[in-house]
Structure 1
Amino acid sequence: MATVKSPLTESAQKTTGEALQGALVDLIDLSLLAKQAHWNLTGRNFKVVHEHLDEIVDLARQGMDDVAERAIAIGVNPDGRARTVADRTELPQLDAGYIADDKAVASVVDALAQIIGRFRERIAATDEPDQVSQDLLIGITAELEKQHWMFQAQS
């Protein structure tokens, strides 16, 4: 079986791999949270929030693909299985059923704030071991922060 030889030291690979895996779980769950809200949304601002939620889904999906591919590039297997995400997520889950637009916005604002905090920790953790992965995390964080600002403006 072929494996990818890491360009990083074993220690750097471990630290960076953990940061990337955590980012992957956050992004997968963010995409699921946003899609759940998108499907069940109600309220006066339905159309605007409905469409904006898809921007979050697109951002999360692109980010998760970039993070997973970076993990493989450094010889770490990404784990995006449903069980892994369910076991490791730190995001509060939405209630089942219809979701009022203001509650959806508040949930997304909260989820983004939590994820941004963890991404900033991962940025700090990867400063020494892998600045290439750090750069990827910085770029994703910038986009998450932009969406956080835009959703906050709706609340």
Structure 2
Amino acid sequence: MAKNGKVQLHPSKNPLSENIRGAMVELLQKHLASAIDLSYQCKQAHWNVKGMNFIAVHKLFDELHEQTEGYVDLIAERLTALGGQAHGTVQASNEGTLLTPYPLDLVHSEGHLKRLADSFSEMGGHVEKAVEESEEAGDPLTADLFTQIGRGLDESLYFLESHFQLPDVSGQTGR
């Protein structure tokens, strides 16, 4: 933020209007903070997981971290391409994240799997809203970026939830 509560933009020949670029930079900044948070939630789980299937979930959490780091980079690069200044520090992420804080006392693999599923679901909901907001603002490229991220989040959620979605005796899916 800068003058008159408006986002300060670097000069750019990007064809979007300054108003649209400013709005998208603000939107992208919230999601940059959230993607950094999600990335390190995955690392928190990776570093601290214990229990059955340790090596499989340990590796899964590291893969999810790498995937979300990719989202961080995509979001930051789009934000700066629009003339914004990416705020990508841990402190900025902490101040701007849209996600519920990750508990620091989880140990068991099932607890981490379920809590990360909650976080990926929460992030996915925010990303879906960002797709709509980007489209309504007239920025199809940012909407496409959020759509791409949303697809990846959905797939990750599937990988996480598959660990605890087991059919019961009647054939119904239970948690």
User: TM-score higher than 0.5 here?
Assistant: yes
Q: Distance in 2 between matches of 1:4 and 1:73?
A: 10
- CA shift, 1:68, in A, is 0.5
Cα deviation code 1:37-81 (max 9, x no counterpart): 100100102111111111211111111111111111111111112
Between the two proteins, what is the percent identity of the paired residues? Answer: 27
Aligned positions, number: 153
Q: TM-score, normalised by structure 2?
A: 0.82
Q: Distance in 1 between matches of 2:56 and 2:27?
A: 33
Pick the aligned partner of 1:143 from 149, 152, 157: 152
SS at match of 1:149: helix
Q: Distance in 2 between matches of 1:126 and 1:11?
A: 13
Let me know the Cα RMSD of the aligned residues. Answer: 1.4
Structure 1 alignment gaps of length 5 or more: none
SS at match of 1:53: helix
SS at match of 1:56: helix
Give the letter for the 1:142 counterpart. Answer: R
Q: Distance in 2 between matches of 1:138 and 1:47?
A: 31
Name segments (4+ residues, structure 1) moved above 6 Å: none
Q: TM-score, normalised by structure 1?
A: 0.92
Structure 2 alignment gaps of length 5 or more: 1-9, 165-175
| Structure of higher RCO (CA pairs closer than 8 Å, 6+ residues apart) | 1
